[in-house]
Structure 1
Amino acid sequence: MVNYCCAALALLFFLPAGAGAQTGEWPALPDPPAAEGPGIRLSGPRVPPLPESEWTAAQRALAETYARNGDGGNAFATMLHAPELADVVHPFLDYTARRSTLPDRHRKLLILRTAWVAQNAYLWADHASDAVSAGFTAAELRRIAEGPEADGWTAFESALLGFVDELYRNSSVTDATWAALAAEYDELNMVDAVVTVAEFTTFSMLYNALGVQPDAGAAERLPADVPYRLEPPQREPPLTRPRIEPIDGPGLSVTRTIRRHPQVAETWGGNTEYVNRRSPRPP
């Protein structure tokens, strides 16, 4: 689940490995996500939520730790089919959703635009409902779907939405977009912006594949009458120097870069540990 985050961080923060980094050219890549429009959303779950009546004591303990209102909705109940995975991914998911250094409005813009470009009905319903409670209007939610060129955004908010489009489509961000965000954001904010989009892209992929459906109590739904449009600038050549310098010492550059942000380093590590070492799948 977290390899997308690793790739996004590698492409955005420091020199990519391999010949492309030497020549300033990208290696051969498939068509980008949503190159021909959004895919088809499932109307029912492939993996149904685990009924609360079937939860073990360990699963109930996870719900008490991580689930809002004690149940966590369809997504959490689906994740309980793999309780060890649920245990390691939720701290970082909670960090990006609620506790990062970003202003709450900016965080919601990034999450909702990511849910829209990935066409994830669950994440849109969940976080749009939160956004309405936080003061977002119906018109603003619609504008998020319409994208960075819609009337009504400030220049910075438009740059945030464009940042999502570039990262989702290109797995990279242009120098101009990076500079637009860095004009108001410090280094920690920049890391948080990247990992928020990367994390919610990852969960969009997961929930779309599993067919996680919106919770019955979430009133908001993906706008059905907004055309799907994703037109970021062309991908620029790979970086030849880091945007954020890794700290000195042994280890991978991506790990040493993340250590510049202690909160991210603390919560992100469990995800990579599961994928690389603790997953029950054969290595």
Structure 2
Amino acid sequence: MTFKHALMAATLAALVGNAFAAEDRMPPIPADKLSDAQKKSIELLSEGAPAGGAPRNVGAGPWVPLLRSPELLNRLQRMGSYLRYESAFDPRLSEFVILLTARDWSNQYEWLAHQKLALKAGVTPAVTQAIAEGRRPTGMTADEEMVYDFIDELLRNRSVSDPTYARIKDRFGERGVIDLIAINGYYSMLAAVLNVAQSPLPGGAPQQIPTLPR
């Protein structure tokens, strides 16, 4: 099957799937059912992110199912704040990695939340479109190419080759290698939570990217 045919089949499957939307397994917990620990987690989330980050939408996305484990949520949100705002990578490359991760998981929420952020940070529309379609983008910057190769190998091979490792290490240092792995790992975990919980997109938003065959 060619890529074109595979993409057409995936798109058709996605459209059919939309007609029979999966039930939200972990919907928002009613306010009168929240434990003290859960209320504290919501309070911490609502305080917003560091370094000028926007307040989180605590009523949507991974925070809703994660609230079932409030202490885990508390620790994850601190990790997420570091990876988005204080890692070895600027926002353009961080958002680029998040899009690659969302695409690998076919996660609609992550794509909806981060595609516009990636564009705002400087990732070109052509590059985001190629990622959405499941193909290697053309016209990437040198930094984007080396990051793409690293994440692509990591996802396909569960490791990276010596040349791919060396390019990231030489450009971003050993801290960059670890932070790059962590960004992918963190957003993979959130995508897994969202996919298992079958969390819906906020506001009745339509499907963002086709579910590609695996």
Fold agreement, TM-score > 0.5: yes
| 2:40 aligned residue (61, 66, 87) | 61
Q: Is the 8 A contact 2:92 2:122 kept in 1?
A: no
| 2:153 aligned residue (166, 175, 192) | 166
Which residue in 1 is equivalent to 2:209? 223
Matched, 1:214 2:201: yes
Once the two structures are superposed, residues 196-228 of structure 1 have per-residue CA deviations (whole angstroms, 9 ceiling, x without a partner) of 1122222222221111222228x685333xx84
Summarize the Cα distance change of 1:52–1:130 in structure 2 as closer, same or farther, 3 Å threshold: farther
| 2:92 aligned residue (84, 102, 105) | 105
Aligned length: 191
TM-score, L = length of structure 2: 0.74
Q: Is the partner of 1:185 in helix, strand or coil?
A: helix
| 1:117 aligned residue (87, 98, 104) | 104
Structure 2 CA distance, aligned partners of 1:134 and 1:124? 15
Matched, 1:47 2:26: yes
1:117 Cα shift?
A: 0.9
Deviation larger for 131-140 or 159-168: 131-140
Matched, 1:89 2:68: no
Summarize the Cα distance change of 1:133–1:214 in structure 2 as closer, same or farther, 3 Å threshold: farther
- Give the letter aligned to residue 174 of structure 1: S
Q: Is the partner of 1:184 in helix, strand or coil?
A: helix
Q: Is the 8 A contact 1:106 1:157 kept in 2?
A: yes
Summarize the Cα distance change of 1:220–1:158 in structure 2 as closer, same or farther, 3 Å threshold: farther
**Equivalent residues in 2 for 1:118-267 (5 A)?**
118-146=105-133, 149-216=136-203, 222-224=208-210, 228=212
Q: Is the 8 A contact 2:26 2:64 kept in 1?
A: no
Structure 2 CA distance, aligned partners of 1:206 and 1:169? 21
Which residue in 1 is equivalent to 2:5? none
Structure 1 CA distance, aligned partners of 2:63 and 2:152? 27
Structure 2 CA distance, aligned partners of 1:129 and 1:54? 34
Larger radius of gyration: 1
1:94 Cα shift?
A: 2.4
1:110 Cα shift?
A: 0.8
Structure 2 CA distance, aligned partners of 1:61 and 1:130? 28
Output the aligned Cα RMSD: 3.1
Structure 2 CA distance, aligned partners of 1:229 and 1:158? 24
Summarize the Cα distance change of 1:77–1:170 in structure 2 as closer, same or farther, 3 Å threshold: same
Which residue in 1 is equivalent to 2:4? none
Q: Is the partner of 1:216 in helix, strand or coil?
A: helix
Once the two structures are superposed, residues 9-46 of structure 1 have per-residue CA deviations (whole angstroms, 9 ceiling, x without a partner) of xxxxxxxxxxxxxxxxxxxxxxxxxxxx9998873322
Summarize the Cα distance change of 1:220–1:193 in structure 2 as closer, same or farther, 3 Å threshold: farther
Percent identical among aligned pairs is: 27
- Give the letter aligned to residue 197 of structure 2: L
TM-score, L = length of structure 1: 0.58
1:135 Cα shift?
A: 4.7
Structure 2 CA distance, aligned partners of 1:46 and 1:70? 19
1:74 Cα shift?
A: 3.2
Q: Is the 8 A contact 2:62 2:193 kept in 1?
A: no
Q: Is the 8 A contact 2:61 2:194 kept in 1?
A: no
| 2:64 aligned residue (73, 77, 84) | 77
Structure 2 CA distance, aligned partners of 1:83 and 1:205? 17
1:52 Cα shift?
A: 4.3
